[in-house]
Amino acid sequence: MGERGRSASAVETWKKFIKVEPTGIYAQVVRERIGMKADQKPPHEKASEMRSPIKLGEIKGETERVLKGMRKKEFAIGPFIGVIYEGGNIKVFAIDNTVEIVETESEKEIDFRKITGEPVKKIKTLYGLTLVYNSFAADVVDGKVKKIIYFKRETI
């Protein structure tokens, strides 16, 4: 926007973006462009408390052994080769032999604030609420966690 002579409008839009997405690489770039200090750090998470049941990252060793026991659906999007693995209450999304996202189903009442603190973002959905943290998100319906989605923040 700023490149087209609408700098004032662009700055206002970027400030609104920071309110919606206060952390991450895009927020960092926006802050640099408008000269805003990065005085807000993302909330600290107790990573040991919320660990993915399948290790994120390159598929090798134990991860490879576990995934071989799951149903496998392959797909391609342009040059990317992807696989969705399913087993039990776990779904795994992998691209180019790297686990990017792990989703687990649940029916538990979990107070994440006691485990990891306040979420980075709360998103109202049609059915409930999604609580977004630095390395996972939780879909909550009627006070119960339905799904937990694990990811590496820098890949999302």
pLDDT of 152 over the 50 cut: yes
pLDDT for 1 equals: 46
Q: Percent of the chain scored above 70 by pLDDT?
A: 82
Output the pTM of the full model.
0.67
Q: Percent of the chain scored above 90 by pLDDT?
A: 38
The string of pLDDT tens digits covering residues 117-149 is 788 888 999 989 998 888 899 998 888 889 999
* Same-domain check for residues 65 and 29: no
Residue type, 60: K
Asked whether residue 92 is assigned to any structural domain, the reply reads yes
pLDDT for 101 equals: 96
pLDDT for 60 equals: 95
Asked whether residue 64 is assigned to any structural domain, the reply reads yes
* Same-domain check for residues 27 and 61: no
pLDDT for 144 equals: 85
Per mean pLDDT, which range of 9-18, 38-47, 72-81, 83-92 is the poorest? 38-47
Give the residue numbers spanning the domain of 70.
57-155
- Domain count for the chain: 2
Asked whether residue 44 is assigned to any structural domain, the reply reads no
* Same-domain check for residues 11 and 70: no
Nearest to 147 by CA among 115, 97, 94, 108: 108
pLDDT for 6 equals: 65
* Same-domain check for residues 105 and 68: yes
